[in-house]
Amino acid sequence: MKRTIAAVLMVLSVCCLLICAVWFFQNSTEAQPAFAQSTLEQEALPSPTPTPGPQVQTLRFSATGDNLIHNGIYEQAKRRAQANGADGYDFSYCYENVKFFYSDFDVNWINQETLVTDTLEPSTYPCFSTPGDMGRQLYDLGFRVFNLSNNHTYDKGAQGLQATTDFWAAMPEDVTTAGLYTDDATAPVIQTVDGVRIAYLGFTEHTNGINTPANAPSHVIYTSELDVMQQLLEQARSEADLVVVSVHWGVEGSHSVTQAQKDLAQKMADWGADVIIGTHPHVVQTAQWLTAADGRQAFVAYSLGNFLNAQSTADTMVGMILTFTVEKTTQPDGTASTVIREPLFYPTVNHYDAHYANIRMYLLRDYTDELASAHGVRGNFPGFSLSYITSMLQENVDSEFLVLPE
């Protein structure tokens, strides 16, 4: 009897265990889909769409002053080419000491003071013509934007204008020229660099008393043509992110900025200019920020002074390279604004030995007292030295923008 009861209890125990196991299994399998569904729902939730931010594009810009090619320069270049068994003109020696500087910039601009052609005979002051090898040398240095509007543009009449127009048109496609206009194309020249649209204009105060030649293929615009200047600047402002204007103005040999320069600079800023590059005095003048009528900050460099030249006075040996950063910010809605940052002047020295021999360029930071003591200009100005150069720059250029050697 006891064995029967024990057997029954054992059977009941096994049944209870089976019932519990079935119950646990059913409950656990029924709960699993709910957990899995919850997990899937969490995985299926879309990620939040990131809010687009502004896009910022930057580029580095340099501007160099008057490349004024006298006969001493091209005659030496001719002899160098002949010494190397080559035809033409070898100007590479003139720029050897500064060529590395321009590789740091996205845009290199220069005022080409003299006509450059492959067809006219070279000539010097007062009516200049420069061999085409000069233009090709500047291209090799990294220059891509050439201002052609100055007081020597009409030196060779309609023939000279046609010759220089043909020369620049035959240069590589990435070359841009500014300052010469035709009746069919009196408009800003626009170049796009790294997504930034840059408009270029050039104006000149005079052309040494020479009127626009008859049958000329192109012409300059004088600073007295205010209505035309305003129309072009307003058009440039509407079409470009950055408006760069060259103005050939001021008094030759004077470090003083005239009231006429200041007044015209403000007008050009109000009409749309962002950067105003002054040329013509052949010596340095100061610079400043201007507030335009629309609230923009425009920068004016009243005179960069000379670059390569064979003049005979001490202060025409010293020039400046203007550098700045262009920053374009595009908002998600497509609106864009462009500002100029950190405008700086890097001084240069045009050096030659006695009797205008071996004319060549240096950055001031690479120039030495030893070189200065041997400069041919000391025949006219015995005080030419590093100290003279530094003092002259400090007296005439705002220290905020001037980069002097340590």
Q: Report DSSP letters for 163-196, one per residue.
A: HHHHHHHTS-TT-EEES-B-TT--S-EEEEETTE
What pLDDT is recorded for position 406?
Answer: 86
> Any idea what DSSP says for residue 68?
-
In a domain, 241, yes or no: yes
In a domain, 37, yes or no: no
319 inside domain: yes
Cα(26)–Cα(22) distance, integer angstroms: 6
Query: What is the mean pLDDT of the segment spanning 303-319?
Result: 99
3-state secondary structure of 191: strand
Residue 87: count other Cβ atoms within 10 Å of its Cβ. Answer: 9
Q: Is the pLDDT of residue 59 over 80?
A: yes
Q: Which range marks the domain in which residue 287 is found?
A: 55-396
Instruction: Give 298's strand partners.
Output: 290
DSSP line for 140-159: HHT--EEE--STTTTTTHHH
If pLDDT is split at 50, 70 and 90, which confidence band does 45 have?
low
Between these two residues, 380 and 52, which has the higher pLDDT value? 380
Confidence of residue 284 (pLDDT cuts 50, 70, 90): very high
CA distances, 302 to each of 31, 236, 264, 314 (Å): 82, 21, 11, 19
pLDDT tens digits, residue range 12-29? 454 445 444 444 445 544
pLDDT band at 52, cuts 50/70/90? confident
Neighbouring residues of 26: CB distance < 8 A, sequence distance ≥ 6: none
**pLDDT > 80? residue 75:** yes
Number of domains within the chain: 1
Residue 12 counted as domain residue: no
Note the pLDDT of residue 21: 47
Instruction: Specify the 3-state DSSP secondary structure of 119.
Output: coil
DSSP lists the bridge partners of residue 321 as 64, 346
pLDDT at 38 over 90: no
List Cβ neighbours of 13 (8 Å cut-off, separation of 6 or more): none
pLDDT at 121 over 70: yes
Q: Is 27 helix (H, G, I), strand (E, B) or coil?
A: helix
Count Cα atoms within 13 angstroms, Cβ side, for 368: 3
Name the helix (H) or strand (E) containing 300. Answer: strand 297-301
pLDDT at 11 over 50: no
pLDDT at position 34 is 46
**Domain-located, residue 331:** yes
| First vs last C-alpha separation in the chain | 116
Radius of gyration for the chain, computed over Cα atoms and rounded to the nearest angstrom: 35
Model confidence pLDDT, tens digit, residues 147-161: 999 999 999 999 999
- Residue 40 belongs to a domain: no
Supply the mean pLDDT for the chain: 92
- What share of the chain has pLDDT > 70, as a percent? 89
**Do the domain assignments include residue 152?**
yes
Tokens read off for 394: 């400090």
Which range (56-65, 181-190, 220-229, 346-355) has the least confidence? 181-190
Asked, for residue 20, whether it belongs to a domain, the answer is: no
Q: Of 361, 350, 368, 359, nearest to 405 (Cα)? A: 368
pLDDT at position 49 is 76
CATH of the domain at 243: 3.60.21
Q: Are 79 and 90 in contact (CB under 8 A)?
A: no
In the prediction, which pLDDT does 14 show?
44
Q: Which residues contact 343 (CB under 8 A, 6 or more apart)?
A: 287, 299, 301, 322, 323, 324, 401
Q: Judging by beta carbons within 10 Å of its beta carbon (0-12, 13-18, 19+), is residue 185 exposed, middle or buried? A: exposed
